[in-house]
A and B are shown apart, each in its own frame.
Chain A
Amino acid sequence: MTKLRLLAGACAALLATVASARAVPADDDRTLSPYFVVSGAEPGVDALPLKSTRVDASVSGVIAEVTVRQRYRNDGSTPLEARYVFPASTRAAVAGLRLRVGERVVDAEIREKRQARAEFVQAKREGRRAALLEQHRPNVFQMAVANVMPGEEIAVELRYSELIVPTDGVYRFVYPTVVGPRYVSAPAPESSPAGGEAPAREPPPQPSPASGGGSTAKGEEGSAATGGGAIAAASGESFPSAGAFPPPLAGEVQGGGQHGIAHPFLRKGRPAPHTFELHARIAAPLPVRTLSSPTHAVAVEGVGSDNATFSLAPDSTHADRDVVVEYRLAGAAIDAGILLQPGRDENFFLALVQPPARVDATDILPREYVFIVDVSGSMRGFPLDTAKRLLRSLIGSLRPTDTFNVIPFAGGLSQLAPQSVPASAANIATALRFIDGQTGGGGTELLPALRFALAMPADETRARTFIVVTDGYVTIEKEAFDLVRESLGRANLFAFGIGSSVNRHLIEGLARAGQGEPFVVLDGAQADAQAARLRRMIEAPVLTRVRVSFDGFDAYDVDPPHVPDLFAHRPLVLVGKYRGKPSGSITIEGFSGGGAWRRTLEVLSPPPQPSPAGGGGSEVTSAEASAASGGGSEATNAEAFTASGGGSEAASGGSATALRALWARSRVQTLTDSQRLRADDTTRAAILRLGLAYGLLTDYTSFIAVDKVIVNPGGQGGEVDHASPLPAGVEETALAKVPSTPEPEFYALAALAAALTWWSRRRRRVGQVRHG
């Protein structure tokens, strides 16, 4: 009876506690306990909505016009916003976007970036299909497609043009297919010259999933440690590089330490989740002598004629490295001359000037070489092996009068010697051992390494050359360019990009800022040749102290405003506007290895032609080049590329329209290069005006296409960041950033503990039996 009373009392008391406990809202606890980032696939959401990418290119003369068609299909049961970060050529002038849904076609319009985002978000909320194309870096874009309905297919086409200028007689068409995993240094960089602009996204971003099979830590610390242990994600097929999505590229975790861009990647060895195909046609002024690709097995036709094609059939294995196609034309002459594009309001011209032949200098100054070598996690494996081979070749061939130093860097940096040492056999052997001892691991702290190297005391009796060797997987391009511009002094800087998907924006920008040349080494086999090429360039620059003058030709807004020294053998490119009737001449002067050099191009009025579409005015071109040499330089007649064969094709129709965009792109490049130093809003406003006036994708302008039809009232649905494959040759350590020592998986620990417990009990029982 007493017990029953006790029981009843206990029941009443405990039921009361249940009631009181129930009164506390369950949701409150979410913020009270330590909470780590949760991974998990969302049911019904198609995580990989991009199904295919098709590239169609038409190369006429030196202008390539490219159409990229991305096909998105939602195979899930939830409406989607698909986002895809993809690379582009560093010289691409993106001037158009088109959205296709079945038979419906919507042409995009150029808008100020924030306005475009606002319109995109609005369209998404209203349930309209929309596409937004943004530029995160000059060679990295993001496509966002809203309200892709279940079972629906949407195609987005973007069009761009670029100049293909031959170097050493080789024309190189490069189409990057994948953005490498970028390392973000501790202070979060600005997303653009204007500062971080948030990406088009409605709700606050959910940190990217980072889960592992048991022992993975999650959350703030866990995400920073993604690489430390398990890096599998929800579906088990992709994983994010640490951090939350955007900005700038797709976002970085704010707040110090090691973090990266949350652009999702597939595990190493997995092909792209979408197919990639490419079809290109070359219309050349002369027959195409050779046409091949060092990166892909392209199908080639028409070699020997002036109309060749190359193509890649649809396949998912193409898209883990840059597509590089190289071709040479018959004859040694470069397709040089002047292309004119008269317009309704503005007239444009493009001048290509054949440089003098390289002449070996007889008196070569002793030089100091400083090698700044990236040995970070993303360089581990094939890129670092290639870099070592390159360095062995470069250092091994230094002259005894040269001095050199080697500065490997990752999260920290070291150096071969406190000061540059003579290139003696013993020092070279020591340096090669030092280089061989470098292993890939850690972050990519490029800026401290550059700062350190540039601040090293210089020997005034030597010409100094910095050589940066990296894959360029960083996000501090602008800071690096500024640093080089401000601190380089009288030295030159050459940048070597190593790998299958190099960040060409960094490599080319560093070289431009450093008054040097960019190199891209795709594999170890090219290392020796590229090293020899650098030696040749340094020992015998093609043209220095270049000056351009216009006589009777009213040119203005000419880019580049100052022509840098020319190390590689390629045409000088000038693009600008002109007023009035085209006449007069353009004169280029400078010094080659053989002395003073001068060349004049006569500008002739184009003959009247029927007005083609585009540009608002008649678009005909005419140019004639005359060469005048001085000081013993080569006196080769530059061919007017409009006057010969396919050249006339280059000047008509789309190519002529492209000149407008190419000028604007070149102008934006010049303004962007100078922007940081001036640190004012004037340049930003100028870039914005250019983008809007010329319909060009820039840091401050985006393309937005919105369908009128409402297909998803309310705009509810999932958001997906389409994953990219890891670039070929890049190890997963590129995402791990810093190596670590994770403990074994939980199940293994538990199994071990269970086995030991069982063994202990059994041994104890046997002992008890023995002792009776």
Chain B
Amino acid sequence: MAEHALVLHARIGRSKPSPFGVPIEDEAKAPVADPRVAWRRALDAVRRLPAVFALLLVLLGAGWPHWEWMARRLTDGSDEPWGFLALATVLALVGRERQRLVLPMPAALATSAAFMLAAALARAWAPPIFAAALAMLALAVFLACALRERPAMPLATLLLLALPLIASLQFYFGYPLRLATAHTAAPLLRLAGFEVEAAGAAFEWNGSLVLVDPPCAGIGMLWVGTYTAALLSWLNRATTARTLATAMVAAASVFGANVARNAALFFPEAMALDWPAWSHSAIGLAAFALALAPVVWVANRLAGSHA
């Protein structure tokens, strides 16, 4: 046991830096023909890993069924693959800070392990996405506690965004969002002089319908808005409360922008104006840019408060 501890701690700071910030001895890179020697060297390499990386690997290994499920959902077309962007962002952010990674406190490790255990148990009775969310939280707790000087909430948010969320968001929140959008935009259109009524998740005008259908719900804008809020909060080292405040501003402004976007696009759709296809995207992007402006402003105003 003592020998292992020696390996884990005594080697730090020797020889070349590794991708993990851990030195690697030159002889370990020499090619070997004997499999037994190769196996021994591989074990040595594992032994030389800092404890925090070793535990991280264990954690990742424990969550393997969840990661496998996520990867399948994100790639088989049943959900949008946007989670990969959030995951890549987390990897980049944590990778930048890898030198600061330390072994989390035992309480944090226990919490992380508890989340992972709960995730494993949840697979037996809860939807896989719920179990995967628990596994992500286990990872978030571990990484947040391993990076003590960095805020936890943005990291957790980004990791949760890595889940295959879009289909579920559409299913559970899509219709309420569409309903709210139609009923908020219809009065705006009436102010503009058009006798538009909200009929469910649609506009009714002059005997014809313009649908606020699933692609119009604003789920994509909401996802990217939340992602931006989390990223800016991380970069600005915002506290949990301030991260939540930024995220709420993002949600509210994205909803408002989606209402404005639907109202604006009502005109070409209802009146069958032959606007070029790109103009629809341009209106959408302009509305989204207006939605992100307050997010950026709030994130910057609430920056720098994390200990």
Contacts and interface: CB of A to CB of B under 8 A. Distances in A.
A218 B121 CA distance: 30
Nearest to A35: B78
Contacts of A761: 235
Contacts of A32: 127-128
Contacts of B202: 738
Given A741-B211, A752-B292, 7 more contacts: A7-B58, A36-B79, A215-B215, A218-B78, A218-B167, A440-B272, A756-B296
Interface stretch (B34-42, B152-160, B241-249, B263-271): B263-271
A29 B69 contact: yes
A748 B127 contact: no
A441 B220 contact: no
A216 B174 CA distance: 13
A409 B109 CA distance: 66
B292 A756 contact: yes
A769 B117 CA distance: 47
Given A15-B62, A217-B170, A221-B174, A411 B208 contact: yes
Contacts of B59: 14
Interface in B276-306: 280-281, 284-285, 288-289, 292-293, 296, 299-300, 303
Nearest to B123: A24
24 contacts: A1-B2, A1-B5, A7-B54, A10-B55, A14-B61, A39-B77, A212-B215, A215-B220, A218-B77, A221-B213, A225-B211, A225-B213, A411-B208, A739-B270, A739-B272, A740-B211, A741-B261, A742-B215, A743-B220, A743-B258, A746-B82, A748-B285, A750-B224, A753-B225
Contacts of A412: 204, 207-209
B140 to A, nearest CB: 16
Contact of A38 (B55, B77, B121, B214): B77
A756 B80 CA distance: 23
B11 to A, nearest CB: 15
B15 interface: no
Given A439-B271, A761-B235, A35 B167 contact: yes
Nearest to A767: B300
Interface string A560-581: 0000000000000000000000
Contacts of A529: none
Nearest to A753: B228
Interface string B219-260: 011001101100110010000000000000000000000100
Interface of A: 1, 3-7, 10-11, 13-15, 17-18, 20-22, 24, 26, 29, 32-36, 38-40, 211-212, 214-219, 221-222, 224-225, 228-230, 258, 375, 380, 408-414, 439-443, 738-746, 748-750, 752-753, 756-757, 760-761, 764
A13 B292 contact: no
B249 to A, nearest CB: 14
B106 interface: yes
Given A3-B5, A411-B208, A744 B281 contact: yes
Contacts of B215: 212, 215-217, 222, 225, 228-230, 740, 742-743
Contacts of A753: 224-225, 227-228, 292
A410 B289 contact: no
A29 B55 CA distance: 28
B136 interface: no
A748 B289 CA distance: 11
A744 B120 contact: no
A1 B4 CA distance: 9
B220 A749 contact: yes
Contact of B281 (A3, A5, A217, A748): A748
Contacts of B103: 3
Contacts of A740: 210-213, 215-216, 269
Contact of A4 (B1, B68, B78, B299): B1
B65 interface: yes
B128 A29 contact: yes
Nearest to B60: A14
A441 B213 contact: no
A225 B206 contact: no
A33 B165 CA distance: 10
Contacts of A3: 5, 8, 51, 103
Contacts of B214: 217, 221-222, 225, 228
B179 interface: no
B65 A21 contact: yes
B128 A221 contact: no
A20 B293 CA distance: 46
A738 B209 CA distance: 7
B171 interface: yes
Nearest to B200: A257
B64 A17 contact: no
Contacts of A18: 61-62, 64-65, 120
Contacts of B8: 3-4
Given A4-B4, A17-B116, A29-B69, A741 B206 contact: no
B305 to A, nearest CB: 15
Nearest to B128: A29
Contacts of B58: 7, 10-11, 14-15
B66 interface: yes
B98 interface: no
Contacts of B227: 750, 753
B27 interface: no
A741 B78 contact: no
A401 B68 CA distance: 77
B28 interface: no
Given A219-B167, A760-B232, A14 B116 contact: yes
B207 A414 contact: yes
B167 A741 contact: no
Most buried by A among B120, B171, B272, B303: B272
A111 B90 CA distance: 64
Contact of A744 (B106, B211, B284): B284
A746 B231 CA distance: 17
B92 to A, nearest CB: 12
A753 B227 CA distance: 9
A17 B120 contact: yes
A212 B73 CA distance: 17
A410 B208 CA distance: 6
Contacts of A409: 207
Nearest to A739: B269
A116 B305 CA distance: 76
Contacts of B129: 33
B210 A738 contact: yes
Nearest to B79: A36
Given A739-B270, A749-B224, A744 B216 contact: no
Contacts of A442: 208-209
B218 interface: yes
Contacts of B64: 18, 21
A441 B76 contact: no
Nearest to B211: A740
B191 interface: no
Interface in B76-117: 76-80, 82, 85, 103, 106, 109, 113, 116-117
A6 B112 CA distance: 13
Interface string B144-184: 00000000000000000000000110111010000000000
A617 B170 CA distance: 69
A457 B263 CA distance: 39
Contact of A739 (B109, B123, B211): B211
B298 to A, nearest CB: 11
Contacts of B270: 439, 441, 739
B272 A36 contact: no
A742 B206 contact: no
B77 A33 contact: no
B206 A414 contact: yes
B162 to A, nearest CB: 14
Nearest to A224: B213
A743 B119 contact: no
B192 interface: no
A24 B258 CA distance: 40
A741 to B, nearest CB: 4
